[in-house]
Structure 1
Amino acid sequence: MRQLLAVAAGLVVLAASTCSAPTPPRADAGPPVTPTGPATLPAPTGPHPVGSTVLHLTDTSRPDPWDPDADARELKVTLWYPAKRRDGRRAPYMTAKESELVLKGSGISTAPYDTLSKTRTNAIQDADPTGRGFPLVVLSPGFTKPVSTLTSLAEDLASRGYVVAGIDHTHESYATTLSDGRIAECLACDSDTDPGFGPRVVQGRAADVSFVLDRLPSKWDGSGMIDRTRIAMAGQSIGGAAALATMVKDPRIRAGIDMDGTTYARIPKSGFTKPFMFVGAPQHVPGGRDTSWDRDWKLLTGWKRWLVLTGAEHQSFTDLPLLGGALGIRPAPGVLPAERGAELTRAYVAAFLDRHLKSRPQPLLERPSPRSPEVTFCPATCGTP
């Protein structure tokens, strides 16, 4: 079953597919509310102005895994990076047609279908990049979602001194605009109940990431600002699962983060020593409804963390809760507030990357913090929900 944003649940993902680590709907949410107008993403917290640009890449070495008529794999890559200036035209969040397809696919009719295209970002479109030696972070979104739903995190990382490459995995999202203006819809949605679907997706995404890393130096004029010896990957839902799968296959990925995603990678029984962090909702406590982290935790033999956020739901690590007001969707009772979810996600992701790509000590990752009472360190202090 496809992932759906449930209006009655307040912006909760209803996903029966095992790739999505589902959160059940709530029965006590009230009716939709009047939309508040265009959403504004929270300002980045780092010192650098942020630029953003889009690349279209084509891998002619392999056919598209979802479209039998396509003999090459087309990808859209959105880059966020430290820029020279703060003024200029803001980068679009998504197009009106993309917004329409995402809302229709998600079952949302509480606001005009172009609402998401009016979301206000902080990055300057096609701004000149500045500086050199920045680490690279690859982002991979959840199933059916465009990478734009991770924009708040991407902008913040760029402001802190990272280059971020967000990949839209074609035909795995409700809408991906290709280089000639065609919109690729979610062909993979027709297969998401097939046996082996999750492993198939993460294997394909690992191939996408490796191809992007191969081509980025020659296809982006600003690639000279990247330190290619310092690369990490993070993702939400099956994008997080893809981060682990890609790290296992591609030695260029030094560290990784899974944000609330069921995992499928085959980790060597001898152990996997690269730094990795799980961060998720309470369903991911040890012995909880999703046991994939329990399995993989034992095989992660390097630096590792397992964090669970009280009150978080599956989309708490994305922009989607921040867009609820614009869509006229009422927050569900007891759910981590959208702004706090974004704040915690940004803080812990940045701390992990600063530690492993910039070699900066991070007390935030060493022990529970009184400033972040929602964050529990597992498995030692976690219980079963």
Structure 2
Amino acid sequence: MGSPADAAGAPAGQRPALCLPEPTGPCPAGTTSLWLTDTSRPDPWAAGAVARELMVSLWYPAATPEGRPAPYMTAAESELQLASRSITGIPPDALSTVETNAVSSATPAGQQRSLPLVVLSPGFTSPRSTLTALAEDLASHGYVVAGIDHTYESFATVFPDGRVTTCLAREARRRGSGSQEKVAAGRAADVSFVLGELTGAHPAWPAAGLIDPSRIAMAGHSAGGAAAIAAMLADPRIRAGIDMDGATVAPIPDHGLSRPFLFLGKQSNYTPGSGSAVTTPRDWKLLRGAVSTWERDWELLTGWKRWLVVAGAVHASFTDFGLLADQAGMDIGAGLSGARSLDITRAYVRAFFDQHLLGRPQALLDQPSPRYPEVTFCSP
């Protein structure tokens, strides 16, 4: 579902059963949404918009598992996401029926200033909901997670007043006026603004006092992963970062970036030196464009770092879409099931944050594990 695909799925009128795996942690998860407005800057994509509006989902440990699970996305968002990806083999509202695990507006649990905060940034054209399975899992282990919809960079974002914004940034990039650098810089600004709204003197979330402002990190997929480095360079509050399958764009200064960083990508595009075996100019450009950015940045990451690749993964494997595509009967070309790839993503992402935000050393990050033979440690 991360890209247009043939949907050889359910017969017409038959709705596939779509659901996210249960979180693995001891805490029930809650969730809520925030509508935030940054009046300090105009929107980078919408001409005439004098402020930047964002929708943010929060996931967090809840006091009780009782309540109604939150919707995955609205029917309008589902229809636009599927249509924009030319996916027609499932009902247009199918993504709005995905069964989640976090309880809507559940009472948060935790002591004041005790919970680490992780920001999640989705891929270009994708909504914040595509990282829900990862967010729910982190919340069940005691994290507050803020998933950001980068307005006009998703195929669809619905605001509480009924407006539905579309992917203006994609049109701008087609006209040559929306560079990858602009996306990364804009997302870095979005992240810094959201951090201020959650940890500042007048927080936008009533339970924001639970967040420990000294323990903040970020992970992203694709453009969101690329934005993790941009955000870390712009905001020292972000102590650690993860790039999941995203070619990076923000240049790291010559003095380097000393905070912990994890590259987690598909083996086909992100194995060091993988461009050398490619024969066609187009494939060489695609592969080297991905790998070379990580190779360039690796030398300038001067703190704790790891470079992991996953055999059989495709771009969508690090998101919910790999799993949901499997459930819908769609073949996205992965050699790894969506359920397995989510298990791997959850395990390594949480291990990274447990080690660098909670101070709990993780053997999983030190060497290959027999539990996850698909994961290779790279040493460029």
TM-score by length of 2: 0.91
**Could you say which residue in structure 2 is the equivalent of 1:201?**
183
| Partner of residue 214 from structure 1, selected from 196, 201, 207 | 196
Question: After the TM superposition, which residues 325-340 of structure 1 pair with which residues of structure 2 at under 5 Å, given as runs?
Answer: 325-330=326-331, 332=333, 335-340=335-340
* Structure 1 or 2: more helix by fraction: 2
| Partner of residue 170 from structure 2, selected from 166, 178, 189 | 189
CA distance in structure 2 between the aligned counterparts of 1:102 and 1:77, rounded to whole angstroms:
18
Deviations 1:290-321 (A, max 9, x none): 21101100110100000000001101000001
| Partner of residue 273 from structure 2, selected from 271, 287, 310 | 287
Letter in 1 for 2:138: L
**Could you say which residue in structure 2 is the equivalent of 1:173?**
154
**Could you say which residue in structure 2 is the equivalent of 1:156?**
137
The percent identity for this pair of structures is 57
| Partner of residue 31 from structure 2, selected from 32, 35, 52 | 52
Shift of 1:226: 0.5
Asked if 1 retains the 8 angstrom alpha-carbon contact of 2:224 and 2:246, the reply is: yes
**Could you say which residue in structure 2 is the equivalent of 1:111?**
90
Give 5+ residue unaligned stretches, structure 1.
11-30, 381-385
CA distance in structure 1 between the aligned counterparts of 2:87 and 2:135, rounded to whole angstroms:
25
The size of the alignment, in residue pairs, is 356
Deviations 1:249-286 (A, max 9, x none): 10000000000001011201121100000000020111
- Alignment of 1:358 onto 2:358: yes
**Could you say which residue in structure 2 is the equivalent of 1:242?**
227
CA distance in structure 1 between the aligned counterparts of 2:318 and 2:185, rounded to whole angstroms:
23
Shift of 1:40: 1.0
Partner secondary structure for residue 78 of structure 1: strand
Deviations 1:103-125 (A, max 9, x none): 01111000110000000000000
Aligned CA RMSD, in angstroms, stands at: 1.5
- Alignment of 1:316 onto 2:314: no
Question: After the TM superposition, which residues 131-142 of structure 1 pair with which residues of structure 2 at under 5 Å, given as runs?
Answer: 131-132=110-111, 133-142=114-123
Partner secondary structure for residue 173 of structure 2: coil
**Could you say which residue in structure 1 is the equivalent of 2:345?**
345
Distance 1:266 1:342, change over 3 A: same
**Could you say which residue in structure 2 is the equivalent of 1:224?**
209
Distance 1:99 1:196, change over 3 A: closer
Shift of 1:43: 0.3
CA distance in structure 2 between the aligned counterparts of 1:97 and 1:61, rounded to whole angstroms:
30
Asked if 2 retains the 8 angstrom alpha-carbon contact of 1:255 and 1:274, the reply is: yes
Asked if 2 retains the 8 angstrom alpha-carbon contact of 1:91 and 1:121, the reply is: yes
Letter in 2 for 1:230: R
Partner secondary structure for residue 90 of structure 1: coil
- Alignment of 1:269 onto 2:269: no
**Could you say which residue in structure 2 is the equivalent of 1:62?**
41
Asked if 2 retains the 8 angstrom alpha-carbon contact of 1:74 and 1:178, the reply is: no
Give 5+ residue unaligned stretches, structure 2.
275-286
Partner secondary structure for residue 89 of structure 1: coil
Asked if 1 retains the 8 angstrom alpha-carbon contact of 2:172 and 2:178, the reply is: no
CA distance in structure 2 between the aligned counterparts of 1:126 and 1:45, rounded to whole angstroms:
20
**Could you say which residue in structure 2 is the equivalent of 1:91?**
70
Letter in 2 for 1:221: P
Distance 1:95 1:208, change over 3 A: same
Letter in 1 for 2:132: T
Asked if 2 retains the 8 angstrom alpha-carbon contact of 1:57 and 1:77, the reply is: yes
Partner secondary structure for residue 256 of structure 1: strand
Shift of 1:325: 4.2
CA distance in structure 1 between the aligned counterparts of 2:235 and 2:363, rounded to whole angstroms:
29
CA distance in structure 2 between the aligned counterparts of 1:161 and 1:4, rounded to whole angstroms:
29
Deviations 1:82-117 (A, max 9, x none): 001112111110000110010011110001100000
**Could you say which residue in structure 2 is the equivalent of 1:15?**
none
Structure 1: 4+ residue segments shifted above 4 A: 31-36
**Could you say which residue in structure 2 is the equivalent of 1:13?**
none
